[in-house]
Amino acid sequence: DADVTQTPRNRITKTGKRIMLECSQTKGHDRMYWYRQDPGLGLRLIYYSFDVKDINKGEISDGYSVSRQAQAKFSLSLESAIPNQTALYFCATSDLAAPYYGYTFGSGTRLTVV
Amino acid sequence: AQSVTQLDSHVSVSEGTPVLLRCNYSSSYSPSLFWYVQHPNKGLQLLLKYTSAATLVKGINGFEAEFKKSETSFHLTKPSAHMSDAAEYFCVVSDGNNNDMRFGAGTRLTVKP
């Protein structure tokens, strides 16, 4: 099994619908992150969580919300999806040593909003 | 705040020839620097990292990168490209604050037979 698992892998949804992307990890890391990837823009941070009670906005949090249900689970919600939220979404985890060891990424969720 | 610029959005090389992917960074502090690779329909995999130890860093699959503080660069190289190296590569900078890792826009590497 993968260390960081994202579900679903692909999703097509309609404008205005609520959608949840899920992430679970077996790394035992306290820190979890949600990024979106757009062509030519690299990865941008949406939300991050340093533990179950600590959730913080990233640089592009508008239109998104998150829930840290447990140390191993971090979900991303789009309350009312819009077409410009079409992107590839990545979940990542790290421990305290992330500045030295980097992140572990999931395989991504490709979301299309029509 | 730190930032990173990948100087080429697309690099094309022939199999067996050297690879050079360029990255310049900006950071107020002593940075940690990373290169990640993303193969099609896959997640990001860590290639190598610089964390203030040796300035020449060796990674997986024959890649290496050299940290040059005077040039604020961290270019990724490989002596001989392989078809399996075709992927997108991301340079990442961190100033040590865990939530502030900045990604470059990516460089797509194409390897021709």
- Give the confidence band of B99 by pLDDT, cuts at 50, 70, 90: low
Q: What distance in Å separates the CA atoms of residue A81 and residue A58, rounded to the nearest whole number?
A: 19
CA angle A33, A22, A35 (to 5 degrees): 30
For A9, the closest chain B residue by CA position comes to B41
Buried b (16+ CB within 10 A) or exposed e, B94-111: bbbebebbbbbbbbbbeb
- Which range has the worst mean pLDDT, A68-72, A99-103, B40-44, B75-79? A99-103
Q: Tell me whether A102 touches chain B (CB under 8 Å).
A: yes
**Min distance A43 CA to chain B CA atoms (Å):** 6
Q: What distance in Å separates the CA atoms of residue B97 and residue A26, rounded to the nearest whole number?
A: 24
pLDDT digits (tens, 9 = 90+) for A39-80: 888 899 999 998 899 999 998 999 999 999 999 999 999 999
Residue indicated by tokens 């961190």: B94
Q: What distance in Å separates the CA atoms of residue A48 and residue B18, rounded to the nearest whole number?
A: 38
Contact criterion met (CB below 8 Å) for B27 and B77 = no
Q: Indicate which of A57, A91, A95, A105 best probes the interface with B, i.e. most B CBs within 10 Å of its own CB.
A: A105
Whether A14 has a pLDDT exceeding 60, the answer reads yes
Q: What distance in Å separates the CA atoms of residue B70 and residue B111, rounded to the nearest whole number?
A: 31
